[in-house]
Structure 1
Amino acid sequence: MTFKQLSVFAVSAGVALSLLSSSMLQAQAATTDVGASNSAMSKQEMKAQKKADRKAHRAKKNAELGKLEKNGYSPVGNQTNYPQNLQNAQEKAAGQKPTNAPAVAP
């Protein structure tokens, strides 16, 4: 092999390697984009799940507060007897008969 043939071979091999590496990089970028969209989707799903959890927690707290208010507790009322008022309402709520129970005639 002469020097000219060797240099042509080296240049052609370099070009071939660069083409292969460029196509591999494009394929890798495509899979990275797909992975990014999957992770973005899971982030959206996580956000939706957290929002649903917050709504459920808020509904539970509001239901508890409503039950206490029906049994005499007022969070905006006179707070001088705060712990006792709250405890009285909790005791009433715990000792309350179920509302769906049949009425018993005396």
Structure 2
Amino acid sequence: MEIKNVSIFFVSASLALSLISIAALQAHAATTDADASDSVTSKQEMKAQKKAESKARRAKKNAELSKLEKNGYNPAGNQSNYPQNLQNAQQKATGQKPTNAPAVAP
């Protein structure tokens, strides 16, 4: 009878330990899933932030180029006087009078 009581005790103890370990594993899995979803969210946020920064840089570049084109610079045009043409357009854009007019090629 004493062996039966001891075996019932060990079976009960092992069952209790199993239930505790299952609960602990479920809690760990929930934590791991939350961490995984946080990393996905942070990756998505980082990607969106990079995209927004890239868009802002592109918009700034296009605005600067448009301003220069309105003041006489043509990036697709004759580039024989490239630095001077660009500098003249920059000076016009800031409201200054261009210092050196580009040489006119025959």
TM-score normalised to the size of structure 1?
0.74
- Encode CA deviations 1:64-98: one digit per residue, 9 max, x unaligned: 000111111111111122111111111111126xx
Alignment RMSD (CA, Å)? 2.1
Partner in structure 2 of residue 80 of structure 1: 80
SS in structure 2 of the partner of residue 18 of structure 1: helix
Corresponding residue for residue 44 of structure 2: 44
Which runs of 5 or more residues in structure 2 are unaligned?
Answer: 97-106
Structure 1: runs of 5 or more not aligned: 97-106
- Identity fraction in percent: 72
Distance in 2 between residues matched to 1:19 and 1:41, nearest whole Å: 33
**Aligned pairs for 1:1-106 within 5 A:** 2-95=2-95
Aligned length: 96
Greater relative contact order (Cα < 8 A, sep 6+): 1
